[in-house]
Amino acid sequence: MIEVYFDGASAGNPGPSGAGIFIKGNGKAEGFSIPLASMSNHEAEFHAFILALEICLKNEFKIVSFRTDSELVNRSVEKEFVKNNQYKPLLEKALTLSQQFDLFFLKWIPSSENKNADELARKAIQRAQ
């Protein structure tokens, strides 16, 4: 099983943002630090998740466990619902992508267990500024 840790971060709310994605499995580990446009922290979290899903699909990973410290993303995916209309298109895209896996898990983890993805997201912000 592939384990994917993702995090979105913003310097300001909204502000320059970044996505951090750390993938491990099959005896390998790889990190991605992707600059994003100016957006809120919650938007950055959703974008990081979508990018992580797309990377896994591109690499043809079929059984994947995603980990996030974003309660909003975790809860929204679990319930397939988000109150804020601004996040609805992002949730819909994430749900559509997640359905393409043979086995898909999303688990909330504390920030202390998501340090690799957090560091990658912060590096992406520096590159976005």
- In this predicted model, what pLDDT tens digit does every residue of 61-117 receive, in sequence order? 999 999 999 999 999 999 999 999 999 999 999 999 999 999 999 999 999 999 999
- Predicted model pTM: 0.96
DSSP tally for the chain: helices H, then strands E: 4, 5
CB-neighbour burial class of residue 105 (10 A; exposed 0-12, middle 13-18, buried 19+): middle
CATH (domain of 116):
3.30.420.10
The number of domains in the chain is 1
Q: Which domain holds residue 121?
A: 2-128
User: Alpha-carbon distance 106 to 79, whole Å?
Assistant: 12
